[in-house]
Structures are given as C-alpha cells and as structure tokens.
Chain A
Amino acid sequence: MEKRMRDKGIEVSTNEKDRISALPEGIIHEILDRLTILDVVRTSVLSKQWKSFFVSFPCLNIDQQNFNRLSYHWFKNFVYLKVRSMSINEERLVINKFRLRMLYGYVSEAKEEIENCTRLVSKTSTINEFDFEIMDASVMASYFYWRELFHHIYNAKTLVVLRLSGLTVMQPSNRDIKFSHLEILRLENIKVKKESVIDWFFTSCSLIREVKLVNCHGLEHLKVCGNVGHLKVLEIGFCPRLESVEIHAPSLEKLVLSEIKRSREYRFCMGLTIDSETCESLRELTLCNSTIRGLTFTRIFSKCSNVESLVLDRCMHFFKIRIASHKLRKLVLKICFDLLVTDIEAPNLTSFTFCNYLPPGYYADSNHSSTSKCPIQYCEKISQLQECMLDFNQLLQSKIMWISLWFNKFRDSAGQKMVTIYPKNKRPYDVVVFEDLGLMAELSLMADVSEGARRTIITTMSFVDLADYVFGDCGNLLEKVLVISSTDKSLLYEA
C-alpha cells in the first residue's frame, strides 16, 4: 500500500501521459452519459479523438434545463442540428438512449422536430431507453394527445426502459404489439383514457421488473396480473381516482402504495387485494396516506412473513393493528393518529420510528378518549435495536412514566441511536442535541433537560451529520438549536 501511495505522488507530478483517452469507447460513453449535454459538447473540443467519441455517443439527451440561461433559439437550433445530423447517417445510426425534458409551450412549438427525432430513434434497432418528459404540469388539463409520438414509441420494440411524463398515454393501434425487452416502466403525471392501456403493459411486457405509476389520471382500478413473473418493484403513487388495487405478482419484493391526501372526514376506503404468493415474496412494504382498513392490513400483513421493512405513514383508518414478524428489521409508524392499539411482536427489529405528533385541534372534542390510552404494546424486548426515533404526542408528553417505560425497552440494545421529537411549542430551544451519550441510564436526565425542546436528539453522530439532519427536511421550522456534547464539555453551540 505504501509503495502505491509513493507511486501516486510521482504520477501526479508528471503531466505528460494521457490518462483517459485510451479507455475503450464504451466506457467513455458511460462517463459522458453522466454529464449534461453542455459538458459533453465541451469534451468534444478536447481533441479529435474526443470529437469522435462525441459523434458516436449513442445518447440523445435534451434537457431544457441545461439551456435555461441560453435563448430558446439556441435550444431549438440544437435539436434541429442534431436531428439533421442524425438523418444524414440514418442507416448507420446508433442510439441507445433518448431523453427529452421540455416545457409544454416549447414542445408544441418544436413538435415537428421532435416527431422527426422520435421517428429516427424508433427506427434504430439499438434504442433501449426512452425518456420523455413534458414538464409544465398545469397544462395537463389540456391533455395532450400525441398519436404520432406513441406510434413511434410502440415501434421501438427493443426498449428496456420507458419513462413518460406529462402526456396522455395512447393505446397501441395493434394490441398484439409486445415490448418483449421492457424492464422498467415509469409513468408520471399522465392521463389514461382507458385503463386497458395499463393492463396492456402488464400483459405484453413479459420481462417487466420495475413499474412506477405516479399521478395517473383516469386510473380507477389497477389490476397487476398477467405476464408479471419478473416484477420486483411496484410503486403506485398519488393517482387521484384510484379505488382498488389488485396484485398477483409472485416475485414482487417491494410495494409502495401512496394515495392522495384525503381529509379524515372523507369516508373513502381503498380496496387492496394481494394474493398470498405475492405476500410471501414481499420484502418491503410502504403505505402512505392510506385509507385501507386496519383489519385488512392486519390480515394482509399476517401473510407477509418475509417483510423486512414496513413503513406506515398517515394511515387514517388504522385503529387496531397487529404486526408480528420475525424477519422485520425496520418499522416506521408515522402520523397514524387514530391508532389506539398496536401489537408489535418483532424480536429482530433494528430500526424503529414512531412519530405521532398530534396537531392541536385535530379532534373536534379535545377530550378524545383515545389519547388517554397507551398506544403501543410490546410483547417482547427489542434487543437488536440500533436506531430509534420517537416523537411524543402532546398529551403523552406529560406522562414521563410512559417515556421511561419506553426507555426500558432499549436497555439491552447496545450502540443504538435515539432521536426523540417533541411537539411544537414556544419553549426556548427547538432542538437539544446530546452527543455521544452512550448509556441509556442517562436518559432520565435527558428527559428533564429537554422537556421544553421541540426535538431532542441523542446521538453518536458527528456534528456534520447532525447539521445535515437539522438543516435537512426536518429542520425547516427550527429557530434555535442547542448542542450539548458529553465528549467535549466546552462545546456548546447556539444558533
């Protein structure tokens, strides 16, 4: 190792040998693929060889954001030039990836250029990634029908990755068309006129591995079945009119089901059916804004014996649930306000998050009976726990007994991180941070000191990571931060 380090010293000081151009073209292209089109164009000025790398670069990556500071004229010109240069070498055109991100207004202006582009792209037998995004979501209302574009897409049979955003998804004119290589499908902010187009994707893409459907207008009943033997990841998010989901995908490993945010009074209930084969293959399950009933969940989860990570975020109809699994390692319970009884039996849990901060006035009657009960019951000790994040309900906050009950649970866990979050109030510090308090015995002290704090963090994290946490998405509302470090008593940060 030492020798190598010395070698390096010499290598850096000499500057004569070309260290990169000798790489195979394929690898250079992989590197170029990670850069914006502007960076790629700049590399073509490096040397003649790099110009040839640029010419043979098989990705067409047009992102309007890269052109933001340039005039539209340049942008359109670039697309035009690119299309023209492509059509010259039409017969030996190699394009693997096509990516286009544009604002709606510009798309309609450059429609012809784009159509020419996609026509050429679909003709090449090498295309494997097609990514088309129309950015301005507000125009979604005008539902952009673009028959020619879809005609070209459905012609590109070699596609492996297909991402569409901001369009109305059209049916293929010929239902026998098959995307026999498609593995990843992402549809975001789209509209479907008939649901059958989604069904068509599931039946005709036999190698499909990952499906993401976000904000799909017009989708009411989703049925995931057919040729989905390879499906591993399914993410369904914020589809405004979705009513039921039915899943028969025997190798599914990750399921994320997020519904649109609904008010609590709105008595809607999502229908979720998962067959037992799918349940058994599941490894990760996330429910967000869910209107699924607690009983339905308990029944489904009882069959999911292999789930390692479970996230329940804002599940409104959960009153009583039971989570029993020996495989479960990560559990997140967030903002399930109506949850009264949770029966958790997960001896191998390593990470646990419980955030149930109740906003004032959430219940019309403040003397709601539920809050007087202890919302979590544990059957067993959690001895494997490494990370724990707790948020105390305003009403529970007064019950120090309840808190200490919690801490007892972790006495046997060694080396864990613990974060506790207190509800908002007008006490002096928003965050109190204790660094490196390894022993849980000191927790009672913590409870006293931090009573007034909105958040209390006990951690072995470095200050940099901590800052990351505080100034990240959790820290938006913070005003004052106090850090007490046990490793260095003189360290006291106040900001």
Chain B
Amino acid sequence: MAEETESTKTEPLKTAEEEFKKLEITEEEESELKLETSDHVTFMVEASIAMKFGAVQQYLEVSPAASASATAIPLHNVASRELILILEYYRMHDWVDAGERDLKEFDERFLKDLNYEELKELLLAANYLNVEKLFNFLTKSIANIIRNKDVEFVRTFFGIDNDYTPEEEAAYREENAWAGVKFV
C-alpha cells in the first residue's frame, strides 16, 4: 500500500500543475481561492465551487481574511489526486448547460473510472471536505452494489474476510433467516 502511493505520487503532481494552468487560463474573471492539499500542491479554485466544500466554508468562518489574501487554505486530509477528481465532479455539476442526461452519463463514467482504492480514498476525502453532493453520490453507489445481493456476493465483491467460525455463522444465519439470509 505504501509502495503504491510512493510510485503514483509524482504523476498526480504533474496533472495537478496542468490543471492549475488550465484554471488560470479559463477562469480569469471569477474570484478564486487558493487550496493546498496534503501533498503540498496548491490549487486555484473558483470561489463558487470552493464554497460548496463544507471544510472551506468552516475555515473561512474562522479566518475570513483568507478569502482575500494569498494564503492558501490547507486541506490536511486531501491529496491532490482526490482534489482533482472532486473538482472534476463539481465543475461538471456546476456547469449551467449540463442537462440531466449529461450529468447521468458523467456520473456513470466518473464511477467507472475509479478503482476501489480510489473510491475509498475519494469517499474519505469527500467526508473530510464535507462535500455533500459527491459524498451522497458515492455512498449511494456503494449501497447500490450491496442492495438485494446475497452475503457471498458482497463478500467476494469487496474482498471481505469472513472471521466467523462455521458454527457461529450457521447459528447467526439461522437467527437472521427472516432477512433473506440463505443457509450455506
């Protein structure tokens, strides 16, 4: 796990810079906020989007000066990789011309492009940043995977380690048979 984060660390940095440049070109007029991620990448983010982040709102309430000054708002538990994804999601959903169908398509693609590790990290970041819409979307997507599935499916899908003894499990399953738990 540690190795994995090491190896990918340089790559998001580059993309972050590209993203950063893009931002500078396209959004000149709108007021921007500077956000700094846990891996020390600064992002200039449109205020309209940044203010949707509960954590940013909270920070500005405590120190209102940060919105005008050049000091970056630190996001301690969010890496640049996650922030890029969050911004991608919110730019799309904030886009006035985006129709319902576009958003649905975008959401599907967005989810498809995530592997489980990323999904988990993104969920943690969304939770920390207090970005309601994305958080709800992600939890709903995971719930959809679990819904109406039997225990074995969910176990293999998420790779959950079964630590019940066979006897314990059989007894517990019987107790909850009414909820549609099948016997093994």
Residues of A in contact with B (beta carbons under 8 Å apart): 1, 3-5, 7-8, 11-12, 15-24, 26-27, 30-39, 41-51, 70, 74, 77-78, 461-462, 465
CB closest chain-A residue, reference B127: A27
Q: How many pairs of residues, A versus B, come closer than 8 Å at their CB atoms?
A: 115
Contact, CB under 8 Å: A34 / B155: no
CB closest chain-B residue, reference A50: B160
Contact of A34 among B139, B150, B156, B181 (CB under 8 A): B139
Query: A37–B179 Cα gap in the complex (Å)?
Result: 8
Contact, CB under 8 Å: B139 / A30: yes
Contact, CB under 8 Å: B124 / A34: no
Contact of A46 among B139, B140, B154 (CB under 8 A): B154
Contact, CB under 8 Å: A27 / B151: no
Q: B151-166: which have CB < 8 Å to A?
A: 151, 154-156, 158-164
Chain A CB count within 10 A is highest, among B15, B142, B164, B179, for: B179
Residues of A within 8 A of B154 (CB): 42-43, 46
Residues of A within 8 A of B164 (CB): 45, 47-48
Can you name 24 A-B pairs with beta carbons within 8 Å? A4-B113, A4-B118, A5-B113, A7-B8, A8-B115, A11-B117, A16-B159, A17-B159, A18-B161, A19-B116, A31-B143, A32-B143, A38-B180, A39-B146, A39-B147, A42-B154, A42-B180, A42-B181, A45-B169, A46-B151, A46-B154, A46-B160, A47-B163, A49-B163
Residues of B within 8 A of A462 (CB): 101
Contact, CB under 8 Å: B101 / A19: no
The stretch of B20-28, B53-61, B63-71, B170-178 in contact with A is B170-178
The DSSP consensus for interface residues of chain A is helix
A21 and B179 in contact (CB under 8 A), knowing A30-B139, A31-B143?
no
B167 to chain A, nearest CB (A): 14
Residues of B within 8 A of A36 (CB): 147
CB closest chain-A residue, reference B144: A34
Contact, CB under 8 Å: B181 / A45: yes
Contact, CB under 8 Å: A18 / B124: no
A18 and B150 in contact (CB under 8 A), knowing A5-B113, A24-B127?
no
Contact, CB under 8 Å: B162 / A46: yes
Contact, CB under 8 Å: B162 / A47: yes
Residues of B within 8 A of A20 (CB): 116, 120, 142, 158, 160
Contact, CB under 8 Å: A19 / B173: no
CB closest chain-B residue, reference A8: B115
Residues of B within 8 A of A41 (CB): 176, 179, 181
Q: B89-121: which have CB < 8 Å to A?
A: 101, 113-120
Contact of A35 among B119, B146, B158, B162 (CB under 8 A): B146
Contact, CB under 8 Å: B163 / A48: yes
Query: A27–B8 Cα gap in the complex (Å)?
Result: 26
Residues of B within 8 A of A46 (CB): 151, 154-155, 160, 162
CB closest chain-A residue, reference B158: A20
Query: A1–B101 Cα gap in the complex (Å)?
Result: 24
Contact of B160 among A12, A47, A74 (CB under 8 A): A47
Query: A24–B124 Cα gap in the complex (Å)?
Result: 8
Query: A39–B172 Cα gap in the complex (Å)?
Result: 15
Query: A468–B118 Cα gap in the complex (Å)?
Result: 33
Chain A CB count within 10 A is highest, among B146, B158, B169, for: B146
Residues of A within 8 A of B161 (CB): 18, 21, 47
A31 and B113 in contact (CB under 8 A), knowing A23-B120, A24-B127?
no
Nearest 4 interchain pairs by C-beta: A41-B179, A34-B143, A8-B115, A19-B116
